[in-house]
Every structure is written in C-alpha cells, then in structure tokens.
C-alpha cells in the first residue's frame, strides 16, 4: 500500500499526515461539563490506544471545562462545535484542534473570526462536511451526492485559504459506504490536506463495525486517510478496539497482542471460542507486540502455530505449546490462558 502524500498537521503532541502513523481518534459520550467523568473516560480510551480525542462543546459550561480536561490528559483534545462561532473562538484557547462544520457556524465573517482564533492559538481546524447537512443550493444542484459534498468542501476550503489559513484537516463523511469512498477518492485527487476517515452514524457495534471496516478499510488500502474514527452506537472503548483492528488487519500498524484463532469444528480438542474471548479481554491493554495462535486441532493448528510467536494446538488429552515455530512443551487444557498470558508478559 502506497500512502498518498499529504500535508503534515500538528494536533497537540501528535503529528498527522504524510508518513506519520495513521492516528486513532474517538469521541467521548459523557457530558463534557462533567469534568471528572469526561477525564475518566478519556483516560480509559487513552489506555486502550486512542491517540486523539474529541469532545462535544455544545454550551459555555463545556467550554469552561476544556482547560481542566486538557490539564489531566495526555492525548490531544479536539473541541467539536456547531452553530456557535463564539464557543469555537473561546474553545480555541484550550483545545488542540477545532472541529467545525463551517456550513452551520454562521456567515463568512463568523468563520473568519474562528479562523483568526485558531491562528492566534496555532491550532488546526478540521472542516467536517456531512451529507446530512449540505448547503441547500448544492443539494438542489447536485442532489445528495459525493459531487455535492466535494463542492461544499471546496467552497469552505476557499474561505479558509482566502484568509491565509492552511492548517486544515478535512472529513467527508456519510452513512453510505459507497458515497463516502467516492467523495474521499475525489477529494484526495485534488487536495493534499490530511483526511480524517469515518463512516458516520454507522449503527450498532455489530453493523457499525462491518460498515466502518469496509469503508475505512477500502480507503486505507487506496492509500487515503491520515486519521480514523470508527463511529458506533456503543461505548467509545469499542470504537478504539475496532479502529486498532482495522489498522492491524491491513498491516498498517501493529498494536499489542494479535490473536489468530480457528473457527472450531467437530475436531476441536479445546474450547477455542472461550479461550480466545478470555485472552482478548485479558490482553486488550497490553502493549507487547506479539502474535498468538489458538487452534483447535492438528489439521491447521501446527501451520498457524508455527507462523505465530506463540501458538497452542489442541490435542486429545493435552495441548501443544509452540514458540517461534517450535513445539516447546505439552500443557493442560485448563492452563492454556494462564500459560499464554505468562508467555506474553515474559514471565
């Protein structure tokens, strides 16, 4: 996969774009003005691998909370603002990036004021265009199409560039996978601003994971995308786990423990499903870059176990433990999770 070159943009202590790692974003679902809850959720997301976090800023109390939130977290904080330029201008003092939809922030003068606030604080702005909130004239001319979205973002970028502001990230999101893929491909051909990818309103954990994996995965495989967010109607923890899995499945990034397991069948000599579930839970915060294979029997087991750093293959009475392609010993079925955990943690 060859990544499309894009401009480098700094968001707090994280640089995105060009050859920088594709960053994982998520968004809190606490009330931002509830400072302790918001900080606790961000810390949890951070531990799971979230690298940039966005919070909604719907009112003055939420703006007031930004400073304290920022002081208590270690990842960049993005303020998400709609309808109110004043909130955006004030949030620029504390946040590492603003996310606005210029279409609903007000007239050009108001957008200019937000741009000036970002300039003064040296922070980027993400321009988010969503199919659900297009300008009426564009919708009339082009319908709800990728072309209409592209024209909308072009119009908005022109305002930013006219004001000599290039510290821009763009997001073009719809809940329709094909339209999202198309508009991002069109945009990437014409601009080199970094792109934040996502399928918006993707649905529950189940359907959202599938839609996001197809949409985000297709674009990443095209070399498009500098940050990603998986939007799920689920706890944000799940979004981060899915985002990591998308990036590691495409072998774009490596995160902690990667588990390969067989689907099981009548030949299975161990409870692969339960063991895998247990291991996933126990290792979800592990930073050890290691591959594990959990295989039910000797049909495909030895092959996969040899490929992984550590593997376990079910036998009739006991299981075989593999390490770096070699069988190192037999282990009891009830000890599998403990033995693998010890191996992962180098005990």
User: Which of 158/299 has CB closer to ligand SF4?
Assistant: 299
Q: What is the DSSP string of 113-134?
A: HHHHHHHHHT--EEEEEEGGG-
User: Which of 24/262 has CB closer to ligand SF4?
Assistant: 262
Question: Shortest distance, CB of residue 303 to ligand SF4, whole angstroms?
Answer: 9
Cβ(42)–Cβ(51) below 8 Å: no
Q: How far apart are CA 225 and CA 162, in angstroms?
A: 25
Distance from chain centroid for Cα 207: 16
Question: Shortest distance, CB of residue 301 to ligand SF4, whole angstroms?
Answer: 5
User: Which of 41/264 has CB closer to ligand SF4?
Assistant: 264
Question: Shortest distance, CB of residue 242 to ligand SF4, whole angstroms?
Answer: 24
Q: How far apart are CA 265 and CA 286, in angstroms?
A: 29
Which residue has the closest beta carbon to ligand SF4? 296
Q: Which residues form the interface with ligand SF4 (CB under 6 A)?
A: 262-265, 267-268, 295-297, 299-301
| 3-state SS, residue 49 | coil
Strands 14-16 vs 9-11: parallel, antiparallel or unpaired: antiparallel
Question: Tokens 């376990």 appear where?
Answer: 312
User: Which of 80/304 has CB closer to ligand SF4?
Assistant: 304
User: Which of 225/301 has CB closer to ligand SF4?
Assistant: 301
User: Which of 92/292 has CB closer to ligand SF4?
Assistant: 292
Question: Shortest distance, CB of residue 317 to ligand SF4, whole angstroms?
Answer: 16
Question: Shortest distance, CB of residue 278 to ligand SF4, whole angstroms?
Answer: 17
Strands 52-56 vs 23-27: parallel, antiparallel or unpaired: parallel
Question: Shortest distance, CB of residue 341 to ligand SF4, whole angstroms?
Answer: 22
Cβ(9)–Cβ(169) below 8 Å: yes
């Amino acid at each position: 996969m060859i990544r499309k070159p894009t401009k480098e943009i700094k968001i707090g202590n994280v640089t995105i774009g060009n050859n920088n790692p594709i960053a994982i974003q998520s968004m809190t679902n606490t009330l931002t003005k509830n400072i302790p809850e918001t900080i606790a959720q961000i810390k949890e997301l951070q531990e799971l691998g979230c690298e940039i976090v966005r919070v909604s800023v719907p009112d003055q109390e939420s703006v007031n909370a930004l400073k304290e939130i920022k002081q208590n977290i270690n990842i960049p904080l993005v303020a998400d603002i709609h309808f109110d330029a004043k909130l955006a201008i004030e949030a620029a003092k504390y946040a590492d990036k603003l996310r606005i939809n210029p279409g609903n922030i007000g007239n050009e003068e108001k957008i200019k004021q937000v741009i000036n606030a970002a300039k003064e604080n040296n922070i980027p702005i993400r321009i988010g265009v969503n199919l659900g909130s297009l300008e009426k004239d564009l919708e009339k001319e082009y319908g709800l199409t990728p072309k209409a979205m592209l024209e909308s973002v072009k119009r908005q970028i022109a305002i930013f560039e006219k004001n000599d502001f290039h510290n821009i990230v763009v997001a073009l999101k719809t809940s329709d996978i094909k339209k999202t893929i198309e508009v991002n491909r069109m945009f990437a051909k014409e601009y080199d601003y970094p792109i934040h990818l996502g399928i918006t309103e993707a649905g529950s954990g189940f359907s959202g994971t599938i839609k996001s994996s197809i949409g985000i995965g297709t674009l990443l495989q095209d070399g498009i995308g500098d940050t990603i967010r998986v939007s799920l109607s689920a706890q944000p923890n799940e979004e981060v786990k899915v985002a990591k899995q998308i990036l590691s499945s495409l072998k774009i990034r490596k995160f902690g423990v990667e588990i390969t397991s067989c689907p099981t069948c009548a030949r299975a000599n161990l409870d692969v499903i339960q063991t895998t579930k247990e291991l996933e839970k126990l290792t979800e915060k592990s930073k050890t870059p290691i591959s594990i294979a959990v295989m039910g029997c000797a049909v495909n087991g030895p092959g996969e176990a040899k490929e992984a750093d550590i593997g376990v293959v079910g036998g009739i009475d006991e299981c075989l433990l593999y390490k770096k392609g070699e069988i190192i010993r037999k282990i009891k079925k009830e000890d599998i999770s403990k033995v693998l955990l010890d191996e992962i943690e180098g005990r």
